[in-house]
Every structure is written in C-alpha cells, then in structure tokens.
C-alpha cells in the first residue's frame, strides 16, 4: 500500500498513488490529484478527493468534497455534507446533510436529508431533498 502520512486525526495520501483493494481511514483523508483506489474507500471523517482521482467501488464517509473531473464508480454515502466539483462523475449520492453539485457534474440519483444546491448545468437521475436551489444555468 502506498504511504499515507498522519498528522493528528488527518491522513494524507501521496500524489498519484494507486491503492489496491479496500481502504479504511479512521479520521479525515486528504487525497491529492491523480490518486486512484481500486476498491472501496471508507473514511470516518471528511474526505477531500483531489482533482482527476478515481474510486472503483463505493465511498462511505462523514463529509465529502469530490474534486473536479474525479470519478466514483460506485455509490457515495455521507453522514453529513457533500460537495461535488466541476465535471466530476459519481454513480449516486446519499447524504445526511447538504449536497452541492457544480457545473458539468454527471451523477445518478441524489438523496439528501437537507438542501440540494445546483450550480449551472448538470446531468443527474432523481434528485430528492428537503429543498432544491438552482443557481445559474
């Protein structure tokens, strides 16, 4: 497994690393650009997935920030908030908090126990949340 550096309760992956199999991080996980996971990713804290990174299966975390042009081929499940940045591709999202979808996002069904905010044009399946805000086109 590639090196993961721990500072307090936050873990940092090496840029451009490939992780085979499933990965579990007890804490926050900051993943730089071009990092790839070939299994499941479980993070007990906040996940910051860097630009142009990918996860082959599902992602479970507390909060998530998914970098631009990243790809998650399985469902993303978060207890809290989820932000998906420009042109990312995610199979589906289930969030306990707010979901923000930026321009160019491709996502399947999105379920939120709070507000879904859409910035610009996206492609999606069903959007289910307490509130819906669409900003710009």
Domain boundaries, the chain: 4-135
pLDDT tens track for 104-118: 999 999 999 999 999
Residue 120, phi-psi category: left (phi > 0), alpha (psi -120 to 50), beta (remainder): left
The model carries a pTM of 0.95
pLDDT above 90 for 37: yes
């Amino acid at each position: 497994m590639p090196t993961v550096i721990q500072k307090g309760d936050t873990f940092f992956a090496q840029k451009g690393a490939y992780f085979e199999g499933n990965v579990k991080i007890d804490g926050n996980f900051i993943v730089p650009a071009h990092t790839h996971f070939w299994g499941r990713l479980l993070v007990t804290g906040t996940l910051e997935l860097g630009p142009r990174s990918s996860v082959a299966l599902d992602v479970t975390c507390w909060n998530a920030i998914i970098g631009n042009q990243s790809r998650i081929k399985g469902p993303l499940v978060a207890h809290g908030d989820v932000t998906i940045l420009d042109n990312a591709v995610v199979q589906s999202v289930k969030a306990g908090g707010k979901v923000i979808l930026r321009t160019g996002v491709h996502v399947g069904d999105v379920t939120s126990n709070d507000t879904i905010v859409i910035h610009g044009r996206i492609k999606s399946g069903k959007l289910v949340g307490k509130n819906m805000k669409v900003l710009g086109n």
